[in-house]
Amino acid sequence: MTLHLGDDAPNFEANTTHGFINFHNFLGDSWGILLSHPADYTPVCTTELGRTAQLSDEFKKRGVKAIAVSVDAIEDHHEWIKDINQVKQTNVDFPLIADQDRLVSTLYDMIHPNASGTQTVRSVFIIDPQKKIRLTMTYPASAGRNFDEILRVIDSLQLSDQYKVATPADWNLGDDVIISLGLTTSEAIEKFPKGITEVKPYLRYTPYPKE
């Protein structure tokens, strides 16, 4: 099953380090980030799960629930979490799914045969409160995920949902944003009282609209 942006995030039930869950019920009205890991006790993933835990307050501030999946057993997950907490001096406070039957891995197309016939690739899914997939990223085994980028995209998505804007290359929270082509210039002037800068008729900036 290949998932595309805007698709419904497949629901599932699974055993996790926080007990048995229904994925959609777990998300509730929150945003979600689903992270896949090829196996427990892998070095790069240890740093990634630790970083996710360290950013717990940042995710909560944005109304995002984190959850991870690995194909190993729940008992291994609990032991691995002890290592993660020790190595990264943190507390893993989000669920880790035990996906021994590859149900979640298959639903989310996490097994790429040219990479491995059994292990999941290291994917990221950002899911909005309507359970729509808003971002997918797949990383090679050798490159750890950039969590600054994950937070940046969440900020961009949440801002664009609230205002008719897009974010330019290398945008960071608080920077100027691009006005949607769906707004005329006169509508943009009314909607964005901080002013607009027209670089081209199709490229118009306005200061960060919040605050």
Can you tell me whether residue 51 is helix, strand or coil? helix
Query: What is the per-residue pLDDT across 17-26, written as a single tens digit (0 to 9) for each?
Result: 999 999 999 9
pTM: 0.92
Query: What is the per-residue pLDDT across 27-48, written as a single tens digit (0 to 9) for each?
Result: 999 999 999 888 889 999 999 9
Q: The domain spanning residue 169 has which CATH number?
A: 3.30.1020.10
- Position 167 in a domain: yes
- Owning domain of residue 180: 163-206
Q: If we measure between CA atoms, which residue out of 83, 46, 51 comes closest to residue 66?
A: 51
Confirm if 164 and 179 have CB atoms less than 8 A apart. yes
Tell me: pLDDT of 124 over 80: yes
- Count structural domains, the chain: 2
| Domain shared by 81 and 179, yes or no | no
* 15 is a catalytic site residue: no
pLDDT at 111: 66
Instruction: Name the active-site residue from 45, 55, 153, 165.
Output: 45
**Predicted confidence band of residue 113 (pLDDT cuts 50, 70, 90):** very low
Query: What is the per-residue pLDDT across 92-110, written as a single tens digit (0 to 9) for each?
Result: 999 999 998 888 988 998 8
| Domain shared by 20 and 75, yes or no | yes
Q: The domain spanning residue 121 has which CATH number?
A: 3.40.30.10
Tell me: pLDDT of 85 over 90: yes
Rounded CA-CA distance 170/189 in Å is 25
Confirm if 77 and 98 have CB atoms less than 8 A apart. yes
- Position 4 in a domain: no
- Position 103 in a domain: yes
| Domain shared by 117 and 196, yes or no | no
Tell me: pLDDT of 118 over 70: no
**Average pLDDT of the segment spanning 7-11:** 97
Instruction: Work out the mean pLDDT of the chain and round it to a whole number.
Output: 92
**Average pLDDT of the segment spanning 60-64:** 97
Query: What is the per-residue pLDDT across 175-204, written as a single tens digit (0 to 9) for each?
Result: 999 999 999 999 999 999 999 999 999 999
Tell me: pLDDT of 79 over 50: yes
Q: Which residues pair with 8 in a beta bridge?
A: 132
Look up residue 112 and give its two tokens.
Answer: 């790429």
pLDDT at 121: 64
Confirm if 112 and 136 have CB atoms less than 8 A apart. no
- Position 90 in a domain: yes
- Position 155 in a domain: no
| Domain shared by 20 and 83, yes or no | yes
Cβ contacts of 75 within 8 Å, gap of 6 or more: none
- Position 47 in a domain: yes
